[in-house]
Structure 1
């Protein structure tokens, strides 16, 4: 018998808010977190659009000698994880007496690496990098910092899978719990929001240039989309076996029904249809779920021309002419990249728990290729008990999760 995997806690640090209540309200009211950033334009960016993510103040929580090891994304992840542990009613005393693991998605540490190497070049002395530089500049910086700060003694692993990183972390954690190798795992995704982390994206003209109207720039599935908008922050979910959660009297919010995954095995940046289709098919198969049971799809759709088309075609191939509602919360947040697979589970959970589907902002006209799915432009007041969330990344890495209400 395989263990059931449940969600017992959630925490978020997002351009839509820095608490679950704030984010829920932003989703409900259709608030956009996208702004025009003059600093990026002055620095030479083609597009100065980005998500507005607040930098947390860690001084009340972490001593300076520990903060020196934490780059921007680890700071976001710390705040999201504090919330999630409190939400799950997991305190330090319990954690120190039990084996709690961490698997977190992260795939770059651009700013911290750049600053350390700039100091080395300036002073021609490696000592100028600083004693915290090595710990800030590794992809595993989030998991190493959080494992030490929260005294986590189970698995300690970073999922680096491009824009599927956050989703892969949840999938991997659920696999361990389902097979009895862990009882409780902290998982999620983090993305640095500074300009340096996305300069190369801007250089290949990936971003929307609708700078005169930031709130209308991110337009998943819309005919007039012209590129994505970069975002950032962190999202944490606490996963446990059902038996473990019941045993400690934890709040049970939902159940990870299934995880599917695939690789396109094709072009490094241009997606195809077959890879996402295999991820969707495997997720349904692994969970013993039929497409008719899915009541809402949170799409990966980033507002790029080819990416939205390929995903729409993949969804249509699996769901046929079913009228299942589809939205991309990236219309409000921009593309949160390494964080997105985790944050979009939380966004969808908040909608499911509060009986609404947030509208796909700025969806005014489908094009011929995206008209095959039911994109919902306005908020719907509706109850649903099972949703599917897609995350697709560079290199053709695909991850799909199905979550059920409890």
Structure 2
């Protein structure tokens, strides 16, 4: 790699907070963002559990022309990106004078597609769908909208990789910037939270049914877990070369050290341990890290019976006897899906900056498959310098990122 790659800004809009400070407080205090959506029950969902995420009206912040092309993923991404750019000190004038790219993870725009189709079927007139419908409906809705809103002229691409969608953009940015092909890229992930987005997942029986205790429903690595809890929002990281950050006088939050990836290649929905282990090893190799260097792993662990057990095996296979702390912040948020790879990197960066590791909430009885891993049910107040974050998705797509506290 020709250039060191760093993070200079982060932004988050999630069920545990709509700013970095709000999220930090939730993580530190063990505050879950999961609740019940009555609309889902009325619609025939087996489980009404979800992360409770607000969808603000952007009137007064954006003009009508900009708003009509932004569906829920675009709104969430815009809110997170505004925060990240502000922290990074990147202004509209800077964006106008420099080539900045965007790589964002998003793998569906279900609400926009369904509502447009419903209108067309009812009115028998395609024009009634509205001029903004097509721009809300494409998976590339986030990158196309934000590239215009922010006058971005660098790489412009959406990564659709199921639940690894938010992680791969950061890894690809690390590669592009490290090789000198770009200086600065806006990266992240977005996930819509409307009921239309995840109805098919509910139909598969993938969701927890623990509706009597919503905040205890997402329980990664717990032996009594019964499924994931869907969630979403928006997460953005400003990724740039160290030289670019120094020229701008920007404060560096952390360094991106490495990126690993793989494909399982054997089943659409059932994971195996081989692919995740390859991704984790490749990440450590690309970062020049030994397993002993890893202080913390933010596990993908979604609270599904098979997925958590398989990941635990993969982590143990790679780490051997090294006992890095392992937790899944999905215990707080549920599964933020296309956003999760980016948001979980941000959650981990927040914890590293503030010297704590959030609890693996709702861990009452450790799954035997995870025996030997250091998974704390309570918060640990500890300084740490290096972490990795796993993200795995349907179709066997795997991504692992490595970060380090910045050192000159």
TM-score w.r.t. the length of structure 1 is: 0.99
CA distance in 2 between counterparts of 1:118 and 1:370 reads: 46
The residue number in structure 2 matching 1:54 is: 54
The residue number in structure 1 matching 2:28 is: 28
Q: How much has 1:56 moved relative to structure 2?
A: 1.8
The residue number in structure 1 matching 2:2 is: 2
The residue number in structure 1 matching 2:219 is: 219
Q: How does 1:5-404 map to 2 (within 5 A)?
A: 5-404=5-404
CA contact (8 A) 1:16 1:32 kept: yes
CA distance in 1 between counterparts of 2:134 and 2:36 reads: 33
Q: How much has 1:173 moved relative to structure 2?
A: 1.1
Q: What secondary structure is seen at the aligned counterpart in 1 of 2:53?
A: coil
Q: How much has 1:376 moved relative to structure 2?
A: 1.2
Q: How much has 1:350 moved relative to structure 2?
A: 0.4
1:174-207 superposed Cα distances (whole Å, 9 cap, x missing partner)? 1110010000000000000111100000000000
Q: How much has 1:370 moved relative to structure 2?
A: 1.7
Q: What secondary structure is seen at the aligned counterpart in 1 of 2:310?
A: helix
CA distance in 2 between counterparts of 1:56 and 1:80 reads: 12
Q: What secondary structure is seen at the aligned counterpart in 2 of 1:165?
A: coil
CA distance in 2 between counterparts of 1:4 and 1:45 reads: 47
1:247-274 superposed Cα distances (whole Å, 9 cap, x missing partner)? 1111101000000000001111000010
Q: What secondary structure is seen at the aligned counterpart in 1 of 2:238?
A: strand
TM-score w.r.t. the length of structure 2 is: 0.99
CA distance in 1 between counterparts of 2:308 and 2:367 reads: 10
State how many pairs are aligned: 406
CA distance in 2 between counterparts of 1:80 and 1:255 reads: 20
For structure 1, the residue ranges without an aligned partner over 5 or more in a row are: none
1:132-185 superposed Cα distances (whole Å, 9 cap, x missing partner)? 111000000000000011111111100100000000011111111001000000
1:59-79 superposed Cα distances (whole Å, 9 cap, x missing partner)? 121101110000001001000
CA contact (8 A) 1:56 1:79 kept: no
Q: What secondary structure is seen at the aligned counterpart in 2 of 1:356?
A: coil
Q: What secondary structure is seen at the aligned counterpart in 2 of 1:390?
A: strand
CA distance in 1 between counterparts of 2:360 and 2:41 reads: 28
CA distance in 2 between counterparts of 1:262 and 1:137 reads: 29
Q: How much has 1:374 moved relative to structure 2?
A: 1.3
For structure 2, the residue ranges without an aligned partner over 5 or more in a row are: none
Q: How much has 1:57 moved relative to structure 2?
A: 2.4
CA distance in 1 between counterparts of 2:242 and 2:101 reads: 16
1:201-232 superposed Cα distances (whole Å, 9 cap, x missing partner)? 00000000000000000000000000000000
After TM superposition, where is structure 1 displaced by more than 3 Å over at least 4 residues in a row? none
CA distance in 1 between counterparts of 2:8 and 2:368 reads: 41
Q: What secondary structure is seen at the aligned counterpart in 1 of 2:368?
A: coil
CA distance in 2 between counterparts of 1:61 and 1:41 reads: 33
